[in-house]
Amino acid sequence: MEINIDKNEVLNYLGKKQGMILDAATSAILDECIREIGAIAAPKTTYRIFELENDENGLRLAGTDVILLGRNIASHLVGCSKCAVMSATLGIGIDREISRLRFSSVTKSVIFDACASAMIEALCDTCDAELKEKYHKITSRFSPGYGDLPIETQRNILALTDAPRRIGLTLTDSFMLTPVKSVTAFIGIE
């Protein structure tokens, strides 16, 4: 799967304001990172669709024991009858390259990391576009750790999407995703 990296998005991750021009050396490193990341990344997504049911404790994903806790996710899904549960990753090669670059070129490491952040966002956008094509009206993504949705919800998403087996996405004991350049989210479907 080819994912295009938006240079303006990379610049946002680097803290550059729109319209700012990079010097030639930094621009060359950025172009090099984009080429390299395209060769290293193994972008994968997986998602499942669930009906939403009201539960006394929150919103339940029908057919499961998963209840989405918190006012923020409930507000985000108002008017939705279904919910997509999504997992996405660029693969472990990206994490390894960022770590390797930290020892050889801090500048390139930072730029490569920003490119990877832009790429995972673009990968999630392709998943959004696929859902929008099928269902027409969807919400934006809402991930565990946003607002009052507990970060521990990551465990449920990985289990529901079978992410460890299907795309190689796992969790640390502190509920951080591995590989790091990965995203889990809920997307409401009206």
Does 35 fall in a domain?
Answer: yes
Domain annotation covers residue 11: yes
Residue 130 scores a pLDDT above 90: yes
CB 68 within 8 A of CB 77: yes
Residue 154 lies in a domain: yes
Q: For residue range 8-20, what is the model confidence (pLDDT) as tens digits?
A: 899 899 888 666 6
Give me the chain's average pLDDT, please: 93
Q: Is the pTM of this model over 0.85?
A: yes
Tens of pLDDT, residues 79-100: 999 999 999 999 999 999 999 9
Q: Is residue 133 part of a domain?
A: yes
> Do 61 and 157 meet the contact criterion of CB atoms below 8 Å apart?
no
Q: Is 38 inside any structural domain?
A: yes
Is residue 84 included in any domain, yes or no? yes
Statement: residue 145 has pLDDT above 90:
yes
Q: What is the per-residue pLDDT for 22? A: 77
Instruction: Work out how many domains the chain is built from and give that number.
Output: 1
Domain around 182? 7-189
Q: Which CATH number covers residue 78?
A: 3.40.109.40
- Residue 132 exposure: Cα atoms within 13 Å on the Cβ side: 10
Give the model confidence (pLDDT) of 13-54 as tens digits.
Answer: 988 866 667 789 888 999 999 999 999 999 999 999 999 999
Measured in Å, how far apart are the chain's first and last C-alpha atoms?
A: 28
Q: Where are the beta strands (DSSP E) in 34-163?
A: 44-55, 58-61, 67-68, 82-89, 138-142
- The three-state secondary structure class of 148 is coil
Average pLDDT of the segment spanning 159-184: 97
Mean pLDDT (whole number) for 138-163: 96
